[in-house]
Amino acid sequence: MTISPEKLHALVAAVLKDDAAPAISDLALPGGVPDSGPKTVSRAEFAVAMNVALHWGLLARVPTAAAYAADCRAAGRKIILDHGALRTVILPGHAPTGAVPAGADAFARILEPLGYVRADIYPLDRLRMTGYAWCHSAFPDSIAQFFISELHVDRFGPDFAAAAKRIFGTTREPLTADALAVLDEFAERGEVALNRAAAALPAIVGAFDRHHDVPSLSDYETLKAASAEAAWIATEGNAFNHGTDRVSDVEAVADAQRAAGRAMKDRIEVSGSGRVRQTAYRADWVERSFVGEDGAAVTLSVPGSFYEFIDREVDPSNGLIDLKFDSGNAQGIFKMTASLDA
């Protein structure tokens, strides 16, 4: 018996209200996740609900992703959420990022209690970043993975570091005491009462967002001059940088999306093994506010989030789908939020 539709709807509706039903309907839900009972929520069930809400939030922010999802609905095809990606920063000395733990640790405290484990590390040296893959220990090929990257501020110059500290040092704690208590209970017992889980989910989903102050334009420009990725984090925070549909033929999808007039990456990224292929839309542009030199608000168009496509072949060494990522692929995909294509 898998998670009951009623329970999943109750959880997702705690975040999305009336949008819960279409958000759930868009996705191919993980099979084999057992129902823990009518009054409790397992860590895996909670992870599924969290991922449904995060995916819907991405569609709300990315018009091209929403258009793709509408195409899938019209065709009767469910999206297979392969992974979501987010970016973080590591300040010098591994200092806390404002009121939250440094870098990926801010999200390890969410993912680990829900059954995720850090599966691999990917150097992203061209970007002065490191990527971490988080995979669900019980349902690795069906519950969506997370790809969390850290930008190493200490690999840049002193002016960059000072600007980064001014921006990201204002980060507020998004998790309430009740949400932290629920995560602790998931870590200890593996399940939580349904009413408590539903009450905690909005704050936990809300952690995947921007929680620092509006940056000054001068600090933003300092970051942007050295790192498009740092500039992106300055405006978008820890929101999903992209979500990814697992498809059967990424090249065919790319051709179809170009034919539909959507701006796509120029080439497909292929992993060193040849088993993982990825491409993506270019990021949609969004309007964001900055603080000008005179203290007045300044609005600019900047790159927002985007949507990605991936196909994965079976690894002949074990007969299982290859769930790995690739450093080269990731660095190519990250260019979708820069002004230059790759």
* 339: pLDDT strictly greater than 60: no
Number of folded domains that form the chain: 1
- What is the Cα 31 distance to its own chain's centre? 22
How open is the CA angle 45-49-51, to the nearest 5 degrees? 115
**CATH assignment of the domain containing 138:** 3.10.180.50
CB atoms near residue 275 (< 10 Å): 17
- Whether residue 149 lies inside any domain: the answer is yes
Owning domain of residue 308 = 62-174+209-337
Taking only the tens place, the pLDDT of each residue in 96-151 is 999 999 999 999 999 999 999 999 999 999 999 999 999 999 999 999 999 999 99
The residue among 243, 241, 225, 231 whose CA lies nearest residue 304 is: 241
Report how far residue 216's alpha carbon sits from residue 92's, in angstroms, rounded to the nearest whole number: 21
- Whether residue 113 lies inside any domain: the answer is yes
- Whether residue 18 lies inside any domain: the answer is no
- Whether residue 179 lies inside any domain: the answer is no
Claim: this prediction has a pTM higher than 0.75: yes
Residue 140 DSSP one-character state: T
Question: Of all residues in the chain, what percent carry a pLDDT higher than 90?
Answer: 92
* 341: pLDDT strictly greater than 50: no
Report how far residue 236's alpha carbon sits from residue 166's, in angstroms, rounded to the nearest whole number: 16
The residue among 17, 21, 167 whose CA lies nearest residue 98 is: 167
* 342: pLDDT strictly greater than 60: no
- Whether residue 199 lies inside any domain: the answer is no
- Whether residue 159 lies inside any domain: the answer is yes
Sign of CA dihedral 33, 37, 43, 49: positive
Report how far residue 268's alpha carbon sits from residue 290's, in angstroms, rounded to the nearest whole number: 35
- Whether residue 250 lies inside any domain: the answer is yes
Taking only the tens place, the pLDDT of each residue in 73-82 is 999 999 999 9
- Whether residue 46 lies inside any domain: the answer is no
Tokens of 337: 């939020």
Cα 218 to Cα 66, 159, 165, 234: the distances in Å are: 33, 11, 13, 12
How open is the CA angle 99-103-104, to the nearest 5 degrees? 115
